[in-house]
Structure 1
Amino acid sequence: MKLTTKTTIFTITLSMALLVVLLIISLYAFRQFSLSNAEEHARTAAEIVRVGLTEAMVNGVITERERMLQRLSAVEGLRDARVVRGQPVVKQFGEGLTQERDLDSIEKDVLSHGKAQTFLEEGGEEPIFRMTIPYIATQESNPNCLACHDVKPGAVLGAVTISISLGNQKSQALLTVGAMVLALGIFSGITILLVRGQIRAIVATAEGVSHVVSLAKGGDFTARIELKEQRDDEIGTIAQDLNDMMGHLQESLGGLTRDVARVIQYESTGHKNILDTTTHMVDTLVNVAHFKQTIEEDRTPIEVYQHIGHVLRDEFLIQRYTIYEVLTDKDQLETMVVDGELKAGCRWCDLQILAQAEACRARRSAGGRVVDAVDTPGLCNMFSPRKNMEGDWTHMCIPVLHSGTISVVVQLVVERSHATFFRHQLPFIQVYLREAAPVIQAKRLLDTLRDSALRDAMTGLHNRRFLEEYLDTMLATAKRQGNSIRIMMLDLDHFKNVNDTYGHDAGDAVLIGFGKVAMAQVRASDMVIRYGGEEFMVLIAEGKDEGGSAGDVVAEKIRAAVEAMRTPVGGHVLSNTVSVGLSRFPDDGGEFWEVAKLADVALYQAKRSGRNRVVSYVAGMESEDEDKAAAKGPSPRGGEAPVRAKEEKPRKG
């Protein structure tokens, strides 16, 4: 129900209630006034009757009292005057006239108690006020009542009943009340019309305010209050102030929306709800700032990719996605995170893109344009969900640019029925990816620099610095898993002759070839380290279930592979052999570097035993080597042993 209707009903109800109350009060007041006035008239008439009867008795014409009462009844408004005798008078003078003998109950009660009584008869054509007044004997009256009546003072001599018509007073009262009600009704009607007019203006303004505020809550600040007429009161002030405020909000918030949209490269012109749009964009910028602060503290690119995956899943409710890293130098893509799994296999595209990055449409997208297959099924022929993936899937691939180069591709996979919703989220997802791009590039560069510092530049193998940094982690892992570590020291036989005879380029070629051969024989968990010069170290984790033979097997495989290795150099083909010494940590000692020296002792033993062989350390071998070295002369190997003798020339293939 509208306020105007409520106000009108309330005003009418209040006016009617006021009229009813006034009517009741007026009628009651007129009634009381009429009764009071009738009582005064009745007492006056009764006194006239008493005086008349007394005079008639004194003058001896008491028998004519009936005519006096009839003349009195002829007075306007006086309907009847009746006199009855009390018991003392009846005893003294007799029962009197016939009409004085028939007493009603009221007269009997008045004669009995000596108190006046009133009674209002309203059943007839007009209301009749009746009052019965006793005559009390007293010595103080003039003439003295006791002079004629043989009674004591205070005796009830008789009573007079006066009946007065109230019809005229009633008519006048009703006429007066009617006039008052009519006047009040007219006044109330005029008041209602005036109040309704003012209320209608207030309601119209309130409805306008409600409409404007409702649209403003929805982000539309273009609405204004339009009054039918110019007003200079509070209503006009409210309307003008609200219109000014809406204009200010439209201008300032609209400008803010455009600025924020420009920052995040978001097209906001098609959205009427600029409040929600701006709030969403600002919230996104705040979240992106926190996100960037978080990923800047990550150590590796894979940690950054994990955080991107968390954002896709938690912020944008995307459960199916793939983050590809572009290996520019190899023209390959590598899956970093797939549906929340690290380094998982390619799940949503043809495997061809992993080996040939240019096969990916997003990778070759000009200017980093999003590949959106929502409205164009089959846009990218590399999109190939696995057969066990139920549902109608489509994809949007976002190239991530840094310094004009696509370094990462983020593939979003969604059901086609929900694709429109996720498409609207693309600009906000791209904000996260743009902020992540330089961080990813920096982490990748740091990884490259770190890897360069920890690898031998020529062979590509880990260097001794890597061993020093990684050693504590490796030992802790072995201890936690209950594994032992097989330490393998390797030294190329007669390598000095290669450098002396064919030059250092030939020596470098042999070292590079050895590195490739050694890496081909070990497991992914094993480490091959260039320890220095032509000397190498291999670390092998041996589990309890392997019986402690894994190191021996790998050592023999390396020895045999090196023996079979051929290195073409300047028209010649060189063949080489390698000597290998083995020790086991912690079985052979409690300190890693001490056990490494024991592997070196075993290597020395392999050299002295004829080279091209594998020798495992046994207790006491170091003492035996010292005795043999003293008896036979110089050591066949440099380093901690004596300077080696002239090397044999390498065999030509």
Structure 2
Amino acid sequence: MTLNRKVTLLFVALATSILVALVIISLYAFRSFALTSSTAHVKTAAEIVRVHLTESMINGTIGKREQFLERLMEVQGLSMARVIRSPLVSKQFGEGLQREMVADRIEAQVLRDGQPRFSIIDEIGEPVFRGTIPYIASSRGTPNCLQCHQVNEGDVLGAVTIELLLSGLRKHAMTSVVSIIITVAVFSLLAIVGARRLMLPVGDTATEIGEVVQRALKGQFKARVTQRTTDDIGLIAAHVNRLLGYLEQGLASIVERVAQLTGRMPSGIDNQLEATIDMVNSLADAATFKITIEEDETKAEIYDRFGRLLTERFGLLEYSFYETLDNGHLQVIAVDGENGHGCLWCDPQILVRGERCRARRAGHMVDGLTQEHICTAFVPDAKGGEVRRHYCVPIIQSGVVGAVVQLVTPATTAACLALQVPYILMFIREMAPVLEAKRLTETLRESSLQDAMTGLHNRRFLEEYVETLVATAKRHQTGLAILLLDLDYFKMVNDTHGHDAGDAVLKSIAELLKQNVRASDLVIRFGGEEFLILLPDTDGAAALKVAEKIRSAVEQYKFRIAGGELKKTISVGVALFPEDSETFWQTLKYADVALYRAKDEGRNRVLRFAPAMWQDENGGY
């Protein structure tokens, strides 16, 4: 119900209540007036009768009282007047007129107790006011009743009954009431009309404000309130319009800025306010996400955290993360939340031919949600059942595609994922620079742990990872063989053929060493022409076998240098941890002792450390 209708109904109810109250009050007032007036008229008529009877008794004309009463009946409105003698008067003067002889019930009561009685009676459908007034004997005043009547002071001498017609008064009362009702109704109608003229702008303005507020809640701020007056209501309408305009401009500015950050402009069918709030909240969450992943140690932790985000926040259970290797091939990081998983949603050939991946090749997003079969490398039925759709996002690092995020969903929920993509992209945009920073950090770290010329691990690598190697050996209760190798007469290569030839020999030695050990073994350039090989889970016999294999391979190898070929040999010292010593560095020292003993014994040989080789710090080798 509108405000105008409520106000109108309120005024109608008030006017009706006032009319009813006035009618009730008027009827009650007229009734009270009629009773009071009729009582006074009856008393007056009764007093006239009493005075006339007294005068008639004094003048001796009491016998003609009947004519007086008949003439009294001619008074307008008077319907009856009669006198009733009390038994005391009848006893003294005898029975009176016929009409004075029989007293009705009311008159009998008045004669007994001397109290007047008044009442309204209905005679043939016409109201009549009846009053019965007693005549009390009194010695006071003139004439003295006791001079003529043989009664006591205060005895009742008789009663006069007077009846008045009330039809005239009732007609007058009804006329007055109707006049009041008409007058009040006219004024009430005028008041309602005037009030409506005053309230209509208020109600209409309130209705329009309600409508524009409802639209504003839906993100629509273009509606305006009509300014109907120049009073306070008009000012309210003007203020509301100004507020809506301010909100419209502010929201448009926010939407534009958010669109610049998210790459998505809320569509016309969206609630722009809710969409913008969601976008701003997502931006804040993405910023918090970035702060969190910046504290993660490795890229693997970041990918794992982002995978949980996709599942917990967006309900996405199927996705893939790929990284681009230095050779341009793609490497699987995680598939559907599992690390080390093979290629599932894409043709495995993308791992060796990165160009097969459209996102990797083009460097921009691939929307397979709305464009089916856009990427021929995608496998939509990899798990069987309902076919899938995909959305691939390349992550640019140092100007090239460093990683690819692939979002996968059943075809029936593709539209839902399309709505979530802008929010997911916020997190990817925040994640991209952190991933690049982690990649650069790892690259720098790897380069600091790697020998630049040979590509082998360096001594710093050993210092950082030795605790892990030792802990693993102790946990598995296995041996760790240490091979310390040194090229024989390497200084002659540099002196005779130059440093370029020496570098070529070192590079070739590095390749020979890697070719003659397992993938789990560690080959380290320990310094200059000295190399260190760590063989996990290897006993003494196996270690000597590997060392001899390496020695023989080097001896038979022809090193190519500028201007010809070279033949070189290598000496190897072998020690075992924890067999030879319970500390790694002491075991390494024992391998060093065995190496120099091999050199002292003629080079190009392998020697296993023995306690007899150890001399105190003041001894020699």
Instruction: With the length of structure 2 as denominator, give the TM-score of the two structures.
Output: 0.90
Aligned to 1:339: 336
Distance (Å, rounded) in 1 between the aligned partners of 2:392 and 2:600: 63
Q: 2:259 aligns with which of 258, 261, 264?
A: 261
Q: Is the 8 A contact 2:4 2:204 kept in 1?
A: no
Task: Please show how residues 178-197 of structure 1 align to structure 2 within 5 Å.
Answer: 178-197=178-197
Q: CA deviation at 1:24?
A: 0.7
Task: Please show how residues 575-614 of structure 1 align to structure 2 within 5 Å.
Answer: 576=569, 579-585=572-578, 588-603=580-595
Residues 334 and 562 (structure 1), Cα distance of their counterparts in 2 relative to 1, 3 Å cut: farther
SS of residue matched to 2:158: strand
SS of residue matched to 2:126: coil
Q: CA deviation at 1:402?
A: 3.7
Deviation string 1:514-553 (CA, Å, 9 cap, x unpaired) is 44454456555543322234443333444xxxxxx55653
Q: Is the 8 A contact 2:345 2:382 kept in 1?
A: no
Q: CA deviation at 1:315?
A: 4.2
Q: Is the 8 A contact 1:82 1:162 kept in 2?
A: yes
Aligned to 1:383: 378
Distance (Å, rounded) in 1 between the aligned partners of 2:544 and 2:534: 11
Q: CA deviation at 1:19?
A: 0.8
Q: CA deviation at 1:439?
A: 3.0
Say yes or no: does 1:284 pair with 2:300.
no
Q: CA deviation at 1:478?
A: 5.0
Distance (Å, rounded) in 2 between the aligned partners of 1:625 and 1:589: 12
SS of residue matched to 2:213: helix
Deviation string 1:245-264 (CA, Å, 9 cap, x unpaired) is 22232223313322332344
Q: Is the 8 A contact 1:601 1:622 kept in 2?
A: no
Deviation string 1:53-106 (CA, Å, 9 cap, x unpaired) is 111222222222222222112211111112112232232223322222222211
Aligned to 2:549: 560
Q: CA deviation at 1:411?
A: 1.2
Aligned to 1:633: none
Distance (Å, rounded) in 2 between the aligned partners of 1:413 and 1:622: 63
Task: Please show how residues 127-146 of structure 1 align to structure 2 within 5 Å.
Answer: 127-146=127-146
Mean Cα displacement is larger for which, 108-117 or 192-201? 192-201
Aligned to 1:636: none
Residue type of the alignment partner of 1:439: V
SS of residue matched to 1:375: coil
Q: Is the 8 A contact 1:605 1:625 kept in 2?
A: no
Q: Is the 8 A contact 2:86 2:158 kept in 1?
A: yes
Aligned to 1:211: 211
Q: Is the 8 A contact 1:518 1:558 kept in 2?
A: no
Distance (Å, rounded) in 2 between the aligned partners of 1:137 and 1:339: 125
Residue type of the alignment partner of 1:360: C
Aligned to 1:408: 403
Q: Is the 8 A contact 1:347 1:385 kept in 2?
A: no
Distance (Å, rounded) in 2 between the aligned partners of 1:115 and 1:601: 152
Aligned to 1:198: 198
Mean Cα displacement is larger for which, 604-613 or 143-152? 604-613
Residue type of the alignment partner of 2:52: G
Q: CA deviation at 1:559?
A: 3.3
Task: Please show how residues 56-75 of structure 1 align to structure 2 within 5 Å.
Answer: 56-75=56-75
Aligned to 2:23: 23
Deviation string 1:352-407 (CA, Å, 9 cap, x unpaired) is 11112112111110xx3211122332221111256435322111111222443222
Q: CA deviation at 1:176?
A: 0.5
SS of residue matched to 1:154: coil
Structure 2 portions without partners, runs of 5+: none
Residue type of the alignment partner of 2:590: L
Say yes or no: does 1:527 pair with 2:522.
yes
SS of residue matched to 2:264: coil
SS of residue matched to 1:419: helix
Residues 136 and 453 (structure 1), Cα distance of their counterparts in 2 relative to 1, 3 Å cut: same
Q: CA deviation at 1:605?
A: 6.3
Aligned to 1:490: 484
Task: Please show how residues 350-369 of structure 1 align to structure 2 within 5 Å.
Answer: 350-365=347-362, 368-369=363-364
Aligned to 2:464: 469
Distance (Å, rounded) in 1 between the aligned partners of 2:121 and 2:597: 151
Task: Please show how residues 11-410 of structure 1 align to structure 2 within 5 Å.
Answer: 11-122=11-122, 124-226=124-226, 230-268=228-266, 270=268, 273-327=271-325, 329-365=326-362, 368-385=363-380, 387-410=382-405
- What RMSD over aligned residues (CA atoms) do the two structures have, in Å? 3.1
Structure 1 portions without partners, runs of 5+: 543-548, 631-639, 643-653
Distance (Å, rounded) in 2 between the aligned partners of 1:109 and 1:34: 24
Residue type of the alignment partner of 1:582: A
Instruction: With the length of structure 1 as denominator, give the TM-score of the two structures.
Output: 0.85
SS of residue matched to 1:462: coil
Distance (Å, rounded) in 2 between the aligned partners of 1:15 and 1:270: 50
Aligned to 2:433: 438
SS of residue matched to 1:127: strand
Mean Cα displacement is larger for which, 551-560 or 257-266? 551-560
Distance (Å, rounded) in 1 between the aligned partners of 2:540 and 2:418: 55
Residues 524 and 3 (structure 1), Cα distance of their counterparts in 2 relative to 1, 3 Å cut: farther
Residues 580 and 382 (structure 1), Cα distance of their counterparts in 2 relative to 1, 3 Å cut: farther
Residue type of the alignment partner of 2:337: G
Residues 72 and 558 (structure 1), Cα distance of their counterparts in 2 relative to 1, 3 Å cut: farther
Mean Cα displacement is larger for which, 497-506 or 103-112? 497-506
Aligned to 1:546: none
Residue type of the alignment partner of 2:74: A
SS of residue matched to 1:563: helix
Residues 9 and 493 (structure 1), Cα distance of their counterparts in 2 relative to 1, 3 Å cut: closer
Aligned to 2:559: 569
Mean Cα displacement is larger for which, 572-581 or 125-134? 572-581
Residue type of the alignment partner of 1:418: T
Q: Is the 8 A contact 1:399 1:409 kept in 2?
A: yes
Q: 2:416 aligns with which of 411, 421, 440?
A: 421
Distance (Å, rounded) in 1 between the aligned partners of 2:160 and 2:266: 104
Distance (Å, rounded) in 1 between the aligned partners of 2:503 and 2:324: 32
Task: Please show how residues 452-467 of structure 1 align to structure 2 within 5 Å.
Answer: 452-467=447-462
Deviation string 1:173-215 (CA, Å, 9 cap, x unpaired) is 0000001101111222222222233333322212211222222
Q: Is the 8 A contact 1:323 1:410 kept in 2?
A: yes
Aligned to 1:648: none
Q: CA deviation at 1:41?
A: 0.7
Mean Cα displacement is larger for which, 264-273 or 250-259? 264-273
Q: Is the 8 A contact 1:485 1:539 kept in 2?
A: no
